[in-house]
Amino acid sequence: MSTDVATALPTERGVAALPREGSVAALPRWFGRASWSVLAYTIAVIVWGAFVRASKSGAGCGDHWPDCKGRIIPSFADTATLIEYVHRVTSGICGLLVLGLAVASLFATPRGHVVRRYALLSAVFIVTESALGMLLVKFQYVAEDASVGRAIWMALHLVNTFLLLAWLTLVAWYGSGRRHAPLRQSGALGKAMFAALGATLIVATFGAQAALADTLFPAASIAHGLAQDMTPGGHFLLKLRMFHPIVALALAVYLVVALSAASAMRPTAQVKRLSTLMFVLLGVQIAFGFVNLAFLAPVWMQLLHLLNADLLWVTLVILTAASIAAPRSKNDHAARERRAQRVAGHLEPVARSAE
């Protein structure tokens, strides 16, 4: 017998404690390891997908899908074809892994377990992820296309991708035996953390548009890039690129406040570690943003910027889940008791008059 620090529930070798309050049931440890592996692989596929966009290889298979140039295995004389084909193969494997994880959750968890819910959502969103990718190819929103349609579909693709990562993260987190608590118990901190998730999603959408603008309208210098962004009547993607740093810095300020609140209101070792990790990833993301600007958005920097953004998002999802489940601080409990006493004081005269 051993004790899982995160859940404070006894665990047997080879199993992880079930994230249900008051339950002593357990999950097999292989499921947690498999979940984290699928999440890591999915992030790798996402980063390669960004390389497809940055290298303008999205048209490497023409408008054919799921085949490539009318063939299952095409000729790879064109580098763009190879890059796009690798993305399709790895994406297909990712789809099978996510669907397999959803099936595995039915065997690894009891009926009604929270992991099943997020595994099902992961399965649904990997299907919509594939559908959005297919439509980008079919509509030819790839390579040099700079249409409004491409910007809209890319935004939808980005939101779907981040939500898919969120569901997979929660499958891995709760599938590893972490404690789960109902959202209604989250209080003001829970609302603040969910606002942080929503704001991060919006900033990431701006980032995707900015990255597309960097690919389609590369700048010869920082001055040239600013001139592109500020030119009246310029392309709408250039206008969106200009706003990305602004909304990103605003998000950074909000995240600093939210992370500080999480550490103060839920002062567990786990929440503090996750908050510290978030501060590190946030600092790295800001630094990458400045490097990306200074070096005029080279492909390698765009990929590192996206990878860190994915890691920041995953960590924020975990921190939100951990904060909701963590016990409140003594100060938080005292504040609630004071509020309850004030309410009782207001109600006492009403009760007396009723008598």
For position 352, what pLDDT does the model report? 56
pLDDT in tens, 47-76: 999 999 999 999 999 989 988 988 999 999
The CA distance from 82 to 309, in Å, is: 26
For position 319, what pLDDT does the model report? 96
For position 345, what pLDDT does the model report? 53
pLDDT in tens, 26-38: 789 999 999 999 9
* Burial of residue 138, with CB atoms counted within 10 A of its CB: 0-12 exposed, 13-18 middle, 19 or more buried: exposed
Which residue has 């602004």 as its token pair?
246
Q: What is the DSSP string of 237-293?
A: HHHHHHHHHHHHHHHHHHHHHHHHHHHHHS--HHHHHHHHHHHHHHHHHHHHHHHHH
For position 192, what pLDDT does the model report? 92
Nearest to 202, CA basis, from 248, 268, 164: 248
For position 6, what pLDDT does the model report? 37
Low-confidence ranges of the chain (pLDDT < 70): 1-25, 329-355
